[in-house]
């Protein structure tokens, strides 16, 4: 996820926080310090409320992280690569490199998260039975974590895709029908229904005096509704590219430039004359880099004739695909790294270029021809 920072690595999985996590962390801390703890545990000093709230908010996100780790570790144990876990505005997400290929595996990966939250709630309940002082900040924090982990498990087990419960529902329907598309459509529809229900309930709460909780519920319902629709469209796109190879879509005669060529030649003969915005840099038909308009803008214009392309081009990271790769691999690579083009190579030898425009044109032509 773009806009995120790596903070740790656990079991070979990068742990990242998105910039929106900082906002939600301070919001939760503030709400605990000024509303929740003062109401539930009156009489503390202001500093104690804030210290307790910071600790509770941190432990909340550790609970979310452990929830996502449960998903990721089960996936890894079954051979599914996991790139990272990202904590963001509404919790966390495990970034699996590929989706489970059978309903049984999806069921196990999905159910692991809610079960881990229930286990955490049980552990905190065990700590709570040690006889801590009734109004102590430690007991207040533990009681909060018991409640929040139970709520986390309960919310995620709702049978609406893409929540964990929605994935469990999809795996059951998938196993019963053998049709992933049908299972996704049903689970997504249920997810959208839950989203609209939350929005309606949130509006009702907001209009009857429970403004803050109402706004939160509307926001969560809106997010769930959109996520369910996005998941449905994502599967439709993956189905679209299921039997399409990169070689069927790429430009097999891309404009190239040598690394020793001056930037002035690149601008005049490739960018201006050919209308290109990006050019692969090739020496002896071997891909050595890629250069874009953005790269060129960093070079003073009065030095273009004296500056070789090699000084301005990007050498790494170079994201590439092979001509026999499935198009879903290429589309996911473009989306994940925010790039508009991918060199197509065979053993470092450039054989083509795949751009977003090529992808859009391919879909548009087939749509206009009435072909799937």
What is the rounded CA–CA span in Å between residue 331 and residue 333?
5
- Token pair of 182 as six digits: 């049908």
Q: Is 198 within 8 Å of 140 (Cβ atoms)?
A: no
206 contact partners, CB below 8 Å, separation of at least 6: 214, 215, 218
Q: Catalytic: which of 40, 68, 99, 255?
A: 68
Q: Which residues of 18-50 are buried (b: 16+ CB within 10 A; e: fewer)?
A: bebbeebbeebbeebbeebbeeebeebeeebbb
Residue 321 DSSP code = B
* Rounded Cα distance, 266 and 256, in Å: 9
Distance, in Å, from the CA atom of 76 to the CA atom of 165, rounded to the nearest integer, reads: 20
Q: Give residue 59's Cα distance to chain centre.
A: 22
Of 204, 162, 165, 164, which is closest to residue 184 (Cα–Cα)?
A: 162
How far from the centroid of its chain's Cα atoms is residue 150's Cα?
A: 24
In this structure, the number of other CB atoms found within 10 A of the CB of residue 344 comes to 27
Contact 141, 103 (CB under 8 A): no
Bridge partners, 286 (sequence order)? 283, 349
Dihedral sign from CA coordinates of 82, 87, 90, 92: positive
Contact by Cβ (8 Å): 88, 65: no
DSSP 236-305: HHHHHTTT-BGGGTSBSS---B-TTSBHHHHIIIIIIHH--SEEEEEETTEEEEEEEHHHHHTS-GGGTT
97 flagged as catalytic: no
What are the catalytic residues? 68
């Amino acid at each position: 996820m773009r806009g995120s920072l790596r903070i740790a690595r656990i079991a070979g999985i990068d742990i990242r926080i998105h910039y929106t996590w900082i906002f939600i962390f301070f919001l939760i801390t503030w709400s605990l310090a000024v509303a929740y703890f003062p109401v539930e545990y009156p009489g503390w000093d202001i500093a104690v409320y804030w210290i307790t709230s910071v600790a509770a908010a941190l432990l909340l996100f550790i609970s979310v992280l452990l929830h996502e780790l449960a998903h990721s570790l089960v996936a890894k144990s079954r051979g599914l690569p996991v790139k990272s876990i990202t904590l963001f505005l509404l919790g966390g997400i495990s970034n699996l490199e590929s989706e489970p290929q059978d309903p049984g595996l999806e069921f196990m990966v999905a159910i692991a998260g809610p079960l881990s939250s229930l286990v955490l709630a049980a552990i905190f309940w065990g700590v709570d039975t040690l006889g801590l002082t009734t109004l102590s900040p430690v007991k207040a924090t533990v009681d909060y974590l018991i409640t929040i982990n139970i709520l986390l498990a309960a919310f995620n087990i709702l049978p609406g895709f893409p929540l964990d419960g929605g994935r469990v529902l999809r795996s059951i329907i998938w196993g019963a029908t053998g049709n992933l598309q049908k299972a996704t459509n049903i689970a997504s529809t249920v997810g959208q229904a839950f989203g609209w229900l939350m929005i309606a309930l949130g509006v009702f709460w907001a209009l009857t005096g429970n403004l803050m909780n109402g706004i939160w519920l509307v926001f969560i319902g809106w997010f769930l509704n959109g996520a369910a629709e996005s998941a449905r469209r994502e599967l439709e796109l993956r189905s679209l590219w299921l039997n399409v190879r990169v070689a069927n879509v790429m430009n097999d005669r891309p404009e190239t430039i040598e690394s020793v060529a001056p930037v002035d030649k690149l601008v005049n003969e490739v960018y201006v004359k050919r209308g290109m915005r990006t050019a692969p840099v090739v020496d002896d038909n071997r891909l050595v880099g890629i250069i874009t308009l953005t790269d060129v803008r960093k070079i003073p214009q009065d030095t273009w004739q004296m500056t070789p392309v090699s000084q301005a081009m990007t050498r790494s990271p170079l994201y590439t695909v092979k001509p026999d790769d499935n198009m879903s691999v290429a589309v996911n690579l473009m989306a994940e790294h925010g790039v508009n083009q991918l060199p197509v190579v065979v053993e470092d030898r450039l054989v083509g270029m795949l751009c977003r425009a090529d992808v859009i044109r391919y879909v548009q032509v087939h749509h206009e021809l009435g072909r799937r």
